[in-house]
């Protein structure tokens, strides 16, 4: 299974996202290497269709299809939780769903 975590260093959320991702992978017994990729420039963001940090793709598919449509930018990405709250990282449920 190919998992990519794209991040921009100007946003502090990717370590927390990586930790949650690795926790969910371990809980589900999935052996996979998470490929970390830093996005450094606007042109890289455009080329990678990077809508903000962090962006997690499982087999090339974004864990949050709605947010994946956002404008490519070096920015912190917004995730919406099931209860309507805003979060800078995907929810556990979004990650679990993406890993099914």
CB of 12 to other proteins, least distance (A): 6
Of 12, 26, 30, 41, the one binding other proteins (CB under 8 A) is 12
Residue 26's SS3 state is: helix
Contact string (CB under 8 A) for other proteins, positions 51-80, x = contact: ----------------------xxxxxxx-
Question: Phi-psi region for residue 69, left (φ > 0), alpha (ψ -120 to 50) or beta?
Answer: alpha
- How does 28-40 read in b/e, with b if 16+ C-beta sit within 10 Å? eeeeeeeeeeebe
Contact string (CB under 8 A) for other proteins, positions 16-45, x = contact: --------------------------x---
- Number of C-beta neighbours around residue 90 at 10 A: 27
Contacting residues toward other proteins, per CB under 8 A:
10-13, 42, 73-79, 85-88
């Amino acid at each position: 299974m190919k998992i990519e975590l794209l991040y921009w260093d100007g946003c502090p959320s990717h370590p927390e996202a990586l930790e949650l991702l690795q926790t969910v992978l371990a809980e589900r017994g999935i052996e996979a290497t998470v490929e970390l990729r830093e996005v450094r420039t606007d042109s890289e963001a455009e080329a990678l269709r990077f809508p903000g940090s962090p962006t997690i793709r499982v087999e090339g598919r974004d864990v949050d299809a709605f947010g994946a449509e956002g404008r490519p930018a070096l920015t912190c990405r917004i995730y919406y939780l099931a209860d309507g709250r805003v979060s800078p990282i995907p929810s556990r449920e979004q990650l679990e769903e993406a890993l099914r």
